[in-house]
Structure 1
Amino acid sequence: MTEPHDSRDREASSRASYLLDGRRVRVSDLLRHGLLKEGETLAFMRRRLGDTYKATVTGKGWLRLENGEEVRSPSRAAAIAVGGGSFDGWHAWTLDDGRTLDQLRQELLDSSVSQITDRDDEDSSAEPSVSATERHILLRRAAQQAESGEPVSVSVQDLLGWWGASGRGTVNERIEADLANHGLTTSPNFDKVPLATTVQLVRETLEKDLEEALDEPLALHLKTVPPADEVAPETGLTIGTLPSALGHGVVSVKPTATFEEAITLMTLHDFSQLPVLTGPYNLRGAVSWKSIARARHADPEASFSQAVMDAREVRYDHDLIDVLPILAESDFVLVRDQHNKIAGIVTAADVAQAYGDLASHFLLIGEMDRRLRQIIAGTFTFEEVSALCDPNTERLASFGDMTVGDYQRVLENPACWEQLGWPLDRKVFAAWLGEVRKIRNNVMHFNSSDPLPKADVDKIRNLNRLLRDYGE
């Protein structure tokens, strides 16, 4: 029997949505959609050196090199063909007609956009104002501007909004995949800086353009960097996510400064230390109240240089947890940005505040969980609760095994709500609890490295206040 047209259309539209939302396009996708053929030959030409490498598309969508090795990643295939190095394989490998794999990738994405229906856009997890189609157009334009040397600048917060997100976390992998499908990345890395930071959408290349890299001696590229699609996403707090790490530059003095200059700046800015720089990239050390006092105590006629001490420095994308021992020893570190410029300073107090904010979220969530459990345990029998939450398994052995989802199932039940006797609207309360459950899961599963938005904190605080008022 012939499949109905609307069924086939829905299936095609679903496949298109999948390609456009959170998965990196692979060579096998190009093969499956008829943009490549099994046995087709690709060329990687190093024009200025006169070298050409060949690869054949296999039936499973991998690239078979001239030595017989088969590789899934075009970038990995290019590096192996040359004998080492780091290349953008999507732009390196070309067909006989001169088109690159990236151009085929864009054809596939454009075709997928044309298959997206209005209903798919409405059902998208993104905000209504940014549909999958509109996001594709934004990224396509950003890729064109990056190619012309005029990259799009956007705040991290606004960038997240393209995917309907207000904070980073599980959405990060979708964002990175969609950016990569358009040959883009962010500078600095959007996941390692504060939400208010402005990032640029730039070409997903290495430190130099492909042609420049190809002209250099092979010895400079012997260390092969794994392609982006083979690198596992990093997780955890980085030092760049702290507000003081990447601000609007740092207040500093030169090595030729006087004690009076340093003391005046530190007093006016309420600083405990001050970096000593000969330029935005050249760190000579730092002075602090302690180092100034020590130098003058040892020699009342001491010069300013005698108060300058060594200063530790880290990159903005350095894991915060690895910096803690340095902060315990030095009280502060200076932070270099993506351009290697000294861009900020992080103190032990900054880190204490960051972890304090995170701890306060756990305390709020803990209070909510405890109060909900006490209210339910004091109102219903365990048999009533388990029948609503998990009647077919033995997951729940006591009230202590209940999740926030279980609390929601009990309290949204009309009979249970009536038994509770609260003069409140059941549906509104259940919906609020559902929103808080999502916030709670993000925090408890460490899905985001960002502090909770004030609106989310207020939702939990207000729920706790209600539980205190009605649960006593």
Structure 2
Amino acid sequence: MGDESKRSMYLLGGRRVQIRDLLDAGLLNPGAKLRFRRRRVGVTHHAEITVTGRVRLIPDGQEFPTPSRAAMVAAGMRAVDGWLAWVVVELGRPLDALRQDLLDRAVATAADDPREEPLDVRVHERLREARKRADGNHPEEFSVRELLKLWGAKDRGDQISRIEADLANHGLVTSPSFRKVTLDATVRLIVGSSGAEEPPAAAPGRAPAVTDDEESAEDPVGLTVGNLRSALGGLTSVAPNASFDEAVTKMLLNDFSQLAVLNGPRNLRGAITWRSIAHARHAAADAKLTDAIEPDVVAVRYDKELIDVLPDLQRTGFVFVRDLENVVAGIVTTADVVQAYGEMAMPFFQIGELDRSLRRVIARNLGLDQVVALCRRPVRSFDELSMGDYQRVLGDAQTWTDLGWPLDRSTFIERLDEIRNIRNDVMHFKPDPPPVGTIDRLRKLNSLLRQYGELS
């Protein structure tokens, strides 16, 4: 095996294994025949590997860059994990098994290779164990927060692509999707569907839809309903035959404006609200709780994008949320949405004020030529300055002295560096709330700049 092939095999940290990697490693040969057998419908699809690492369907000749895309088109299915679906005929092994061999080889060479971005041996071993448990129908459960810790991540920030790639390389997905719930929600590490049995959507231990594409149309662009804390946080409810006293007591004790009426965990009969109670009792003094049920309520899946739910929230003030097993597991109100968007927007506005204040201080005290020299890059106007530029300019000893601020330069620049990292996270619009103290740090720095910026 040549040096280039070894490097390709070794540098798998952060990216998905490709058919080309199997060819380079000698684990698969061009022209290898593939078989995708769907036992339930009695159909078998055929394909072959091209010299460039694509999957060519037989007999129609369509070529695809990934096994999953080829399997989806061949079977006419919405999504399927082609690495599990396609079996190499000559070897009698699925492509997934060859992918695991490749990862094991990479681990074997990792200790002796100093190059950057290697396959993380610790993560590989942990996910390999999780895969064994998932194959044995004993999937491991984690909170999303605990899962992220495996990669040293505190939230779903810049490492999310690496995390998804590592999971995909081991044939694993989370159920529910760790992107679409809160950090404290519990997820299971399970194996994607091979499409052979085409299990129903709620089949335990297997995910019906997963692809190895870098980006899937199923991935959320913004916040999902499940990203809100109340969405899957449990639900207080009453049965249809409950009394007014029971419903009113639960609403008062919990400061609720509405209650779900359930006849079983999946059977949502409607909702009781203060308005519906008032209307029922006004219409008839001897009214029963069933007379106060509002049947026209909305229940959405946890993975529905929040922006698509806003019209219903505007109309009713609340929506109920169904989890992966279709259980009515939570509720989202207008107040929850206002809080979620407020948590995202507040750091954005604070950073905007900080950016304007720093730019004004520099523009008042330095010429553009001085700024260009300190930034060591071409800058055509003060509006092009970045947070890193602010650090370089204000971190200059002579510039700081000229400002005349009675403040410690190194401490101020250290705080700016903290804010730079916060800014990067905020501008990526992550679904997670900012770390505790983030907004307070931004406010205090803005307050300091308002005070001392006027002295410049």
**Short-chain TM bin:** 0.7 to 0.9
Partner of 1:3: none
CA contact (8 A) 2:180 2:226 kept: yes
2:87 paired residue number:
94
2:431 is the counterpart of 1:449? yes
User: Aligned match of 2:384 in 388, 401, 408?
Assistant: 401
Q: Deviation string for 1:136-170 (max 9, x for gaps)?
A: 11111111111111111111112222223222133
Q: Which residue among 306, 309, 320 is the counterpart of 1:334?
A: 320
Correspondence 1:70-149 to 2 at 5 A: 70-82=63-75, 86-95=79-88, 96-117=90-111, 132-149=120-137
**2:300 aligned with 1:314:** yes
Contact 1:245 1:343 (8 Å CA) reproduced? yes
- 1:396 corresponds to which letter in structure 2? R
Tell me: CA distance 1:408–1:348, structure 2 relative to 1, closer, same or farther (3 Å).
same
Alignment of 1:45-444 (within 5 A): 45-46=37-38, 51-67=43-59, 68-82=61-75, 86-95=79-88, 96-117=90-111, 132-205=120-193, 210-213=195-198, 227-229=211-213, 231-232=216-217, 233-247=219-233, 249-309=234-294, 310-389=296-375, 391-392=377-378, 395-397=379-381, 399-422=382-405, 424-444=407-427
Task: Report the secondary structure of 1:192's partner residue.
Answer: coil
> Cα 1:303–1:401, aligned 2, differ >3 Å: closer, same or farther?
same
CA contact (8 A) 2:280 2:292 kept: yes
Distance 2:282 2:289 in 1: 13
Contact 1:20–1:112, Cα closer than 8 Å, also in 2: no
SS of equivalent residue, structure 2 residue 179: helix
Please list the CA deviations of residues 204-258 of structure 1 after superposition, one character each: whole Å capped at 9, or x if unmatched.
22xxx7443299xxxxxxxx978341624432011111110011x2110011111
Q: Equivalents in 2 of 1:263, 1:388: separation in Å?
A: 67
- Partner of 1:212, secondary structure, is coil
The residue identity in structure 2 corresponding to 1:444 is: M
The amino acid that maps onto 2:180 is K
Tell whether the 8 Å contact from 1:143 to 1:203 is kept in structure 2 after alignment. yes
Given residue 111 of structure 1, which amino acid in structure 2 is its aligned partner?
A: R
Cα offset, 1:201, TM superposition: 0.8
Distance 1:283 1:48 in 2: 33
Contact 1:254/1:276 (<8 A) preserved: yes
Contact 1:20/1:109, CA 8 A, preserved across alignment: no
Whether the 8 Å contact between 1:20 and 1:178 is mirrored in structure 2 is yes
Query: Residue 31 of structure 1: CA displacement?
Result: 1.0
TM value normalised by structure 1: 0.85
Q: What one-letter code is carried by the residue in structure 2 that aligns with 1:373?
A: R
Q: Alignment length, in residue pairs?
A: 441
SS at match of 1:439: helix
Q: How far apart in 1 are the matches of 2:39 and 2:292? A: 56
C-alpha distance in structure 1 between counterparts of 2:331 and 2:68, whole Å: 37
Distance 2:262 2:383 in 1: 57
Unaligned runs of 5+ in 2: 201-207
Q: Give per-residue Cα distances to partners, 1:58-90, cap 9 Å, x unaligned.
A: 101112222122223223333444465654321
Q: How many Å separate the matches in 2 of 1:177 and 1:404?
A: 30
TM-score by length of 2: 0.88
CA contact 2:36–2:86 (8 Å) conserved in 1:
yes
- Structure 2: distance between partners of 1:366 and 1:199: 36
Deviation at 1:104, TM superposition (A): 0.5
**Which has the higher mean CA deviation after the structures are superposed, 236-245 or 376-385?**
376-385
Aligned CA distance change for structure 1 residues 64 and 15 (closer, same or farther; 3 Å)? closer
Answer with 348-357 or 161-170: which moved more.
161-170
2:445 corresponds to: 463
* Distance 1:118-1:436 versus aligned 2 partners, 3 A rule: farther
Shift of the 120–194 alpha-carbon distance from structure 1 to 2, 3 Å rule, reads: farther
Residue 197 of structure 2 aligns to a residue whose secondary structure is: helix
Alignment-mate amino acid for residue 125 of structure 2: I
* Cα shift at 1:313: 0.7
Amino acid at match of 1:298: A
- Contact 2:33–2:48 (8 Å) recurs in 1: yes
Distance 2:261 2:426 in 1: 39
Q: Distance in 2 between matches of 1:55 and 1:409?
A: 57
What SS is found at the alignment partner of 1:333?
Answer: strand
Post-superposition offset of 1:29? 1.4
Q: Secondary structure at the match of 2:321?
A: strand
Letter in 2 for 1:159: L
Secondary structure of 1:213 counterpart = coil
Q: Which amino acid aligns with 2:395?
A: E
Aligned-residue offset at 1:173: 2.2
CA distance in 1, matches of 2:395, 2:10: 33
Q: Is the 8 A contact 1:239 1:320 kept in 2?
A: yes
What is the deviation of 1:93? 2.0
1:98–1:124 CA distance, 2 compared to 1 (3 A): closer
Give the conservation status (yes or no) of the 8 Å contact 2:144–2:185. yes
Q: CA shift at 1:441, angstroms?
A: 2.5
How much has 1:389 moved relative to structure 2? 3.0
> Separation in 2 of the partners of 1:305 and 1:70?
59
Cα distance, 1:17 vs structure 2: 5.6
What residue ranges of structure 1 are gaps of 5+ in the alignment? 1-7, 126-130, 216-223
CA distance in 1, matches of 2:151, 2:253: 42
Return the offset for 1:418.
3.3
Inter-partner Cα distance in structure 2 for 1:344 and 1:119: 49
Identical residues among aligned pairs (%)? 50
Indicate conservation of the 8 Å contact 1:43/1:93, yes or no: yes
Q: For 1:109, what is the secondary structure of its paired residue?
A: helix
